[in-house]
Chains A and B, each alone.
Chain A
Amino acid sequence: AQKVTQAQTEISVVEKEDVTLDCVYETRDTTYYLFWYKQPPSGELVFLIRRNSFDEQNEISGRYSWNFQKSTSSFNFTITASQVVDSAVYFCALSGVNDYKLSFGAGTTVTVRA
């Protein structure tokens, strides 16, 4: 069985602060995909990143960065210099390479105050 845990329910920061969202996963698969999705107040689910379990390189995209550590089964997400527009619920998700099912974490609500 696959499981994704996002231990932080809510995070509140002031604009320009950095914020890190934790994601820990469990899987018996040797190959798998990890994802992050963003759900802003408008409600849509926006894909942010997909990471293959073979690729442990960290990734940076603008103010977003991701730290994948297979040894600790973690795939953490950092927003640098946060902005009000970053306020959203962020979901971490996991799927096996040959599995159509996405296992979602419970989500972390990020509130960025001006």
Chain B
Amino acid sequence: DAGVIQSPRHEVTEMGQEVTLRCKPISGHNSLFWYRQTMMRGLELLIYFNNNVPIDDSGMPEDRFSAKMPNASFSTLKIQPSEPRDSAVYFCASSLFPTGNTIYFGEGSWLTVV
């Protein structure tokens, strides 16, 4: 079975540009997560969707960040406008409710904002 699929794997963009990261969760999973990994802060949960509904977006750093899940098989994380401090690895992950089940991560999207 396919795992969590993310695109792009690598993105280099200039400050001020819009960045869109995409995610396809594991088929049948009803929970989707966006995490960010940096050297300074480690792995941070940005937002959590359950059944396509955002449940917890308290980790979204600021209004420049937005996430959507229009259907059960697709989610986007958008940064507009991007800043150098947004450079990080962004992971999408999915799991099957009830909570506590294993969360499976994608390969990550490595973002560099110059």
A: residues with CB less than 8 A from B are: 32-33, 35, 37, 42-47, 50, 91, 95-102, 104, 106-107
* Secondary structure of the B contact surface, majority rule: strand
- Does B100 interact with chain A (Cβ within 8 Å)? yes
- Within 8 Å CB of B43, what residues of A? 91, 102, 104
Chain A residue at minimal CB-CB distance from B110? A43
- Does B31 interact with chain A (Cβ within 8 Å)? yes
Q: Is B107 a contact partner of A44 (Cβ separation < 8 A)?
A: yes
- Does B18 interact with chain A (Cβ within 8 Å)? no
Q: Please, how many angstroms separate the alpha-carbon atoms of A100 and B102 in the complex?
A: 10
Q: Is B99 a contact partner of A98 (Cβ separation < 8 A)?
A: yes
Q: How many pairs of A and B residues are in contact by the CB < 8 Å rule?
A: 53
Chain B residue at minimal CB-CB distance from A95? B100
- Within 8 Å CB of A45, what residues of B? 91, 93, 105, 108
Q: Please, how many angstroms separate the alpha-carbon atoms of A30 and B95 in the complex?
A: 22
Q: Is B108 a contact partner of A97 (Cβ separation < 8 A)?
A: no
Q: Is A47 a contact partner of B105 (Cβ separation < 8 A)?
A: yes
Given A43-B89, A45-B108, A99 and B100 touching (CB < 8 A)?
Answer: yes
Chain B residue at minimal CB-CB distance from A37? B105
